[in-house]
Amino acid sequence: EILSYITYIGCGISLFALVITVLLFINVSLSGALFLLNCTFLLTEWGATVKLEWVCEFLAAVMHYSLLSCFTWMAIEGLHLYLMLIKVFNTYYKRYLLKLSLAGWCWITDDTFFYSVNIVYFALVFIFNTGILVAVGSSICKMRRVLMRTSKHRAIISGKSWGVPERFKTSCQSSLTLLGLTCLTGMTWGLAFLGSGYINYPVLYLFCILNSLQGKN
């Protein structure tokens, strides 16, 4: 019951943040998919009380569709990070946004395979984004080392001090960047693989808090 309250509160906060994000035209597609997922999740309890079978089927289909769309857009965000930070050059693709939208939104779902499709598909997305995040993290660390050497050199030339506070500030900035990318690519959903069994309640609480607040992040 506590997990349900945490999830409802987190989804409510995420919905508010997602509306602002969409209005500001920031990550509109992923934000739209998360908005749809949070809305349908909040409506599931109401749908269970309605004595109309088609309402339950409709909510289940929309939730399944939006969940798959979220996973797909998380993978697309990972691919986009790779193109921006790793490949960098020769990354122009004709009708790039149209192709991404077709991949992210066009899904045919079948409730019979609800759990298997979601688990297997997310596992593939998780593995893909893990590789992307490791590559991006390595690139950020390399850039941080170059930035630190450059800043230290400039400080020495100008006669200013360069010590622990400056290094700590740079490390914090890099850590926050990686944390934001971790949420953006949906890596926190991977906690679901560790949340089975009664002994893993801390993992379940962490899963509910992080993922229900993903829209806010």
Domain annotation covers residue 106: yes
Domain annotation covers residue 196: yes
Q: What is the pLDDT of residue 161?
A: 61
Domain annotation covers residue 217: no
Q: What is the pLDDT of residue 124?
A: 86
pLDDT for 89 beyond 60: no
Top-confidence range, 62-76, 94-108, 141-155, 158-172? 62-76
Instruction: Identify which of 54, 55, 14 has the alpha carbon closest to the alpha carbon of residue 34.
Output: 14
Check residues 212 and 67 and name the one with the higher pLDDT. Answer: 67
Q: How many domains does the chain have?
A: 1
- For residue 93, give its domain range: 2-212
With the C-alpha atoms ordered 169, 170, 174, 175, is the resulting torsion angle positive or negative? negative
For residue 108, CA distances in Å to 70, 96, 114, 171 come to 14, 22, 12, 44
Domain annotation covers residue 114: yes
pLDDT for 197 beyond 60: no
pLDDT, mean over the chain: 77
pLDDT for 171 beyond 80: no
- Coil vs helix vs strand at 15: helix
Q: What is the pLDDT of residue 106?
A: 67
pLDDT for 30 beyond 80: yes
Q: What is the pLDDT of residue 77?
A: 85
Query: What is the arithmetic mean of pLDDT over 137-163?
Result: 74
Which domain CATH number covers 118? 1.20.1070.10
pTM of this structure = 0.75
Query: What is the arithmetic mean of pLDDT over 156-179?
Result: 71
User: What is the rounded distance in angstroms from the CA atom of residue 136 to the CA atom of residue 181?
Assistant: 9
Check residues 214 and 10 and name the one with the higher pLDDT. Answer: 10
